[in-house]
């Protein structure tokens, strides 16, 4: 490989994570949230996450499964989504005990001081794993067949552009739960660091485990949809400015849909 190809490979692996970090930094431009601002930001985050679950996860899951499953390509999507929801239900039970013990042992200085923040962090981290793998698969396949690296780089660039609003969508509800900007920023960045790690893994496993990708994508969608329904949407409804939340939800959904479909 030439030095130019190596540069684009490294950039493909790191750019999605860097855009997550960049999106997360926007939290430092938010002042103390009013009820109206809280409703708007949670609505925006919910819309972005739901749109990403559909267009970035479920639709690609169905498309990737067609080569192996044909007319039954819906099976990995349905089963994976259901397993993702069941996983988050189990996590609800486990996290309640985990967080209680953590707060007792650290005198309320635990990283996760609320169950909703823990579940959100888990769902977003899981969501980033198949994204990282898909980038690694794309780059690894291009190298294996000696095709131009620029093509998978453009794919990675598309994911990176999506990650900017996703970083914001992660850090805002995290801040709403924890009330601390620096901790929320750190956790949002930490959830994104799995992307370059799994991109490297996907690069070396490009020809061996691609059959798992539809299942991982739909599993991730299930975890995110569960968090949206259980944690974020009730927050919007509980506020006096719920209409603002609904409007921002629609805006967030459309924004993410345009990024997924048009890029």
Interval 212-218 mean pLDDT:
89
* Mean of the per-residue pLDDT values of the chain: 84
- Per-residue pLDDT band for 154 (boundaries 50, 70, 90) equals confident
pLDDT per position as a tens digit, 104-129: 554 455 566 667 777 888 888 888 88
User: Given this model, what pLDDT does residue 22 score?
Assistant: 94
Q: Residue 195 pLDDT more than 90? A: yes
Phi/psi region, residue 179 (left: phi>0; alpha: psi -120 to 50; beta: rest), is: left
- The pTM of the full predicted model, rounded to 2 decimals, is 0.74
């Amino acid at each position: 490989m030439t030095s130019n190809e190596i540069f684009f490979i490294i950039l493909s692996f790191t750019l999605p994570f860097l855009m997550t970090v960049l999106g997360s930094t926007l939290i430092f431009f938010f002042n103390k949230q009013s009820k109206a601002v809280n409703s708007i930001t949670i609505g925006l985050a919910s819309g972005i996450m739901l749109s990403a679950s559909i267009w970035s996860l479920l639709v690609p899951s169905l498309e990737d499964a067609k080569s192996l499953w044909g007319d039954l390509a819906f099976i990995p999507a349905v089963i994976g989504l259901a397993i993702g929801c069941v996983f988050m239900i189990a996590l609800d039970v486990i996290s309640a005990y985990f967080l209680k013990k953590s707060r007792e042992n650290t005198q309320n200085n635990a990283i996760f001081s609320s169950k909703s923040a823990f579940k959100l962090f888990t769902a977003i981290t899981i969501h980033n794993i198949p994204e990282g793998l898909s980038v690694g698969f794309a780059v690894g396949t291009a190298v294996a067949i000696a095709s131009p690296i620029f093509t998978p780089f453009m794919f990675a660039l598309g994911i990176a552009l999506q990650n900017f609003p996703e970083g914001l969508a992660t850090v805002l509800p995290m801040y709403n739960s924890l009330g601390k900007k620096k901790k929320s920023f750190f956790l949002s960045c930490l959830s994104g660091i799995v992307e370059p790690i799994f991109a490297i893994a996907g690069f070396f496993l490009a020809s061996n485990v691609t059959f798992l990708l539809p299942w991982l994508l739909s599993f991730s969608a299930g975890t995110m949809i569960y968090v949206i329904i259980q944690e974020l949407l009730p927050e919007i409804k509980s506020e006096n400015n719920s209409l603002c939340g609904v409007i921002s939800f629609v805006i967030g959904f459309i924004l993410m849909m345009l990024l997924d479909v048009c890029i």
